[in-house]
Chains A and B, each alone.
Chain A
């Protein structure tokens, strides 16, 4: 960038503005390994005590079951989102459909309008389908809520694939399906990867849907687990413990974020090329 201005006033301003965030995340990590005397923030001892919930199920209950369920939840959802978005996105981008305009604007509207407020309706649909209080029911709902975003993103990626590739394939006599599978899909792999990671993070974090649509089932995901653990009225009331469980819960996301940061940067502002 331009080098004619000094950087330190900017650092100072940014530092002040970002201080709450920096403090919260710094202490999120520090507090899980240390204890501080009452009324102070500076830790005075190092300890693994707050991590004992990993091997001692008597602290907050078994944590590995919910972890496995969360993983299953997030990955299944990713598979559905990718499969459905990559086909629908292609159809909208390249194929001739009736009501294409209408469908696209519908997707835009749904994308812009998070439908959590429709949850009673969603509950009824699940109930009619016999999927209330089941993992697959929650997965389907979550995947569907992600679809407008997914389709929109994939359409954007397909739009950027040069028409010449497709033209060449079609002139060689391949069917549109084969062209899509052999020639186009490899072109949008980066898009699939970004969308997949984004959907995984979103699924991993989901709280409302499992909480409302599967309250009594025999499975628990980490978000509802953490919510129960960190109940202020519980006997385990201890922010260091809450944070340890929370950090454990968030670790996979942080790793994914660290590895795929640049891809995610693009998609976080995504669906917004207009």
Chain B
């Protein structure tokens, strides 16, 4: 039967589509684009302008640009001529002040802004505000150094005006080099990542982090589900609530609690001191304890996920089956191995897959606790991407490199989730609607 598209359905999904498009799809597309650029704070995100600076001229000189052109471009002077006076009048410089400039300074040349300004300051009708004085000097200036030009054409015109004899090719090269915005660098970011010796360490850290936390989550989740299964209702309830608390506790408070637990003069510290064990800041003081902290911090949050799923699956076991096994004299261990665990095969696989993905891209807890330290021994990929792109001491955030790192994570995540979708028999979830109009 051919079915018609439901208009109501379209109307109903479009708000969701719009939001998901704006805040999922667009960011993915933008991240992909950025990953192939050298975008950073210095280049800006939305584009740059064209500027010739002293450093640029030096670099151009080293790159073999004709020295005469470099010298011409580097010249800066202020001259009072009839042309510049006319320009100043057009710019709106006050006529009386302009008249005094013409009368006293006509034909003079000044090497730099400071000497010209001090000459202007001696005039009786000078503006009182320093900014006005500075603006009044600009029409007299003949220099393109450190002036920002919005377009490449403007820049080329400016270069031509300073160095009329420069060949077109040179002008084009200089204008190109003067661009301050970001450029395409193809796979440059990925190449850099490959070349960095540290990349491999972060990858290993990430693998270790995910594997260890996952193991904790699954085993503890399993343990909690099975033990609470055997407990009377109130006892089971107490423990499941306790283990759910980390899940609902705001991450900032949760981090504070762990700091109190592991830091100098914190809980463990005081206990260890009284027992004569080494007492130090366990969260940051040594590599093994830092790892242990991170794995526990994340593990305690994640374990309840497995616990709930496994408990649900356990409740589906017919209770008669258990009683029967007990009548047959099965020990608890046998009961677990032969009846309970087989029942949990799919939930375990599901929890493993699902949490692999979420652990891969999680860094909030690590950031708020060890922050990847000591050194960068507990830095994982997602945290490094975040720090590169958005969070570092120098004021130059490397968006392009950060995006490249995020893109790798997105790619890994996509591949894994598609794999999982196949594994968990996606078709069964998409049962066809039964009423069609």
Contact, CB under 8 Å: A7 / B230: yes
**B26 / chain A contacts, CB cutoff of 8 Å:** 121, 124-125
- Whether A259 is near chain B, meaning CB under 8 Å from some CB there, is no
B226 nearest CB neighbor, chain A only: A10
Contact, CB under 8 Å: A96 / B319: no
Q: Roughly how many angstroms separate A95 CA and B265 CA in the complex, as a whole number?
A: 60
Contact, CB under 8 Å: A88 / B246: no
Q: How far is the CB of A129 from chain B (nearest CB, A)?
A: 8
Q: Name the interface residues of B116-142: CB closer than 8 Å to any CB of A.
A: none
Q: How far is the CB of A270 from chain B (nearest CB, A)?
A: 9
**B253 / chain A contacts, CB cutoff of 8 Å:** 226, 246-247, 249-250
Q: Roughly how many angstroms separate A165 CA and B92 CA in the complex, as a whole number?
A: 78
The segment from A57-65, A138-146, A187-195 found at the interface with B is: A138-146
Q: Roughly how many angstroms separate A175 CA and B399 CA in the complex, as a whole number?
A: 50
Contact, CB under 8 Å: B232 / A96: no
Contact, CB under 8 Å: B350 / A115: no
Given that A2-B326, A113-B361, A167-B435 are contacting pairs, would A253 and B250 also be in contact in the complex, using a CB cutoff of 8 Å?
yes
Proximity bits, A104-118, B CB within 8 Å = 1, else 0: 111011101111111
Q: Name the interface residues of A73-107: CB closer than 8 Å to any CB of B.
A: 83-85, 87-88, 90-98, 100-101, 103-106
Given that A4-B326, A223-B252, A249-B253 are contacting pairs, would A21 and B245 also be in contact in the complex, using a CB cutoff of 8 Å?
yes
Q: Roughly how many angstroms separate A222 CA and B253 CA in the complex, as a whole number?
A: 10
- Whether B114 is near chain A, meaning CB under 8 Å from some CB there, is no
- Contact for A20 among B28, B300, B402, CB less than 8 A: B300
Q: Name the interface residues of A23-47: CB closer than 8 Å to any CB of B.
A: 23-25, 27-28, 31, 38-41
Contact, CB under 8 Å: B270 / A41: yes
**A92 / chain B contacts, CB cutoff of 8 Å:** 13
B351 nearest CB neighbor, chain A only: A272
Q: Name the interface residues of B341-356: CB closer than 8 Å to any CB of A.
A: 350, 354
Contact, CB under 8 Å: B261 / A117: no
Contact, CB under 8 Å: B257 / A28: yes
- Whether B57 is near chain A, meaning CB under 8 Å from some CB there, is no
Q: Name the interface residues of A236-250: CB closer than 8 Å to any CB of B.
A: 239, 242-243, 246-247, 249-250
Given that A113-B357, A116-B364 are contacting pairs, would A97 and B10 also be in contact in the complex, using a CB cutoff of 8 Å?
yes
Contact, CB under 8 Å: A14 / B239: yes
Contact, CB under 8 Å: B260 / A121: no
- Whether B6 is near chain A, meaning CB under 8 Å from some CB there, is yes
Q: Roughly how many angstroms separate A85 CA and B273 CA in the complex, as a whole number?
A: 53
Q: Roughly how many angstroms separate A145 CA and B375 CA in the complex, as a whole number?
A: 32
- Whether A214 is near chain B, meaning CB under 8 Å from some CB there, is no
Q: Name the interface residues of A139-187: CB closer than 8 Å to any CB of B.
A: 140-141, 143-145, 147-148, 151, 159, 163, 166-167, 170, 175-177, 180
- Whether B196 is near chain A, meaning CB under 8 Å from some CB there, is no
Given that A17-B223, A88-B16 are contacting pairs, would A122 and B27 also be in contact in the complex, using a CB cutoff of 8 Å?
yes
**B232 / chain A contacts, CB cutoff of 8 Å:** 1, 7
Q: Roughly how many angstroms separate A84 CA and B241 CA in the complex, as a whole number?
A: 30
- Contact for A96 among B5, B227, B323, B354, CB less than 8 A: B5
The segment from B76-84, B175-183, B426-434 found at the interface with A is: B426-434
Q: Roughly how many angstroms separate A91 CA and B17 CA in the complex, as a whole number?
A: 12
A92 nearest CB neighbor, chain B only: B13
- Contact for B389 among A14, A31, A120, A170, CB less than 8 A: A120
Q: How far is the CB of B359 from chain A (nearest CB, A)?
A: 10
Q: How far is the CB of B213 from chain A (nearest CB, A)?
A: 15
- Whether A135 is near chain B, meaning CB under 8 Å from some CB there, is no
Proximity bits, B413-437, A CB within 8 Å = 1, else 0: 1100110110011101111011111
- Whether B36 is near chain A, meaning CB under 8 Å from some CB there, is no
- Whether A207 is near chain B, meaning CB under 8 Å from some CB there, is yes
Q: Roughly how many angstroms separate A165 CA and B433 CA in the complex, as a whole number?
A: 14
Contact, CB under 8 Å: B19 / A103: no
A5 nearest CB neighbor, chain B only: B332
Dominant secondary structure of chain B at its interface with chain A: helix
Contact, CB under 8 Å: A11 / B231: yes
**A24 / chain B contacts, CB cutoff of 8 Å:** 257-258, 260-261, 267
**A13 / chain B contacts, CB cutoff of 8 Å:** 223, 227
Contact, CB under 8 Å: B252 / A227: yes
Contact, CB under 8 Å: A176 / B260: no
Contact, CB under 8 Å: A144 / B239: no
- Whether B242 is near chain A, meaning CB under 8 Å from some CB there, is yes
The segment from B97-105, B144-152, B201-209, B301-309 found at the interface with A is: B301-309
Q: How far is the CB of A214 from chain B (nearest CB, A)?
A: 14
Give the residue among B232, B257, B267 with the most A Cβ atoms within 10 A. Answer: B257
- Whether B212 is near chain A, meaning CB under 8 Å from some CB there, is no
Contact, CB under 8 Å: B296 / A20: yes
Given that A7-B235, A118-B406, A163-B435 are contacting pairs, would A230 and B256 also be in contact in the complex, using a CB cutoff of 8 Å?
yes
Contact, CB under 8 Å: A22 / B386: no
Contact, CB under 8 Å: B267 / A27: yes
Contact, CB under 8 Å: B235 / A230: no
Contact, CB under 8 Å: B31 / A121: yes
Measured CB to CB, the residues of A under 8 A from B are 1-2, 4-5, 7, 10-11, 13-14, 17-18, 20-25, 27-28, 31, 38-41, 83-85, 87-88, 90-98, 100-101, 103-106, 108-110, 112-122, 124-125, 129, 140-141, 143-145, 147-148, 151, 159, 163, 166-167, 170, 175-177, 180, 201, 204-205, 207-208, 212, 222-223, 226-227, 230, 232, 239, 242-243, 246-247, 249-250, 253-254, 257, 261, 264-265, 268-269, 272-274
- 28 inter-chain pairs at a CB distance below 8 angstroms, sorted by A residue, are A2-B230, A2-B322, A4-B326, A14-B231, A17-B224, A21-B245, A24-B257, A24-B267, A41-B271, A97-B5, A105-B421, A105-B426, A108-B421, A109-B421, A113-B357, A117-B406, A118-B31, A121-B27, A121-B31, A122-B27, A125-B26, A143-B19, A167-B435, A227-B252, A239-B260, A249-B253, A268-B305, A269-B305
Given contact pairs A14-B228, A114-B358, A222-B250, enumerate 18 new A-B contacts (beta carbons under 8 Å): A24-B258, A101-B430, A106-B20, A112-B354, A112-B358, A116-B386, A117-B31, A118-B24, A119-B390, A120-B399, A147-B20, A159-B431, A176-B8, A180-B8, A207-B364, A250-B253, A264-B248, A274-B429
The 5 tightest CB contacts between A and B, nearest first, are A121-B27, A95-B9, A88-B16, A144-B23, A205-B250
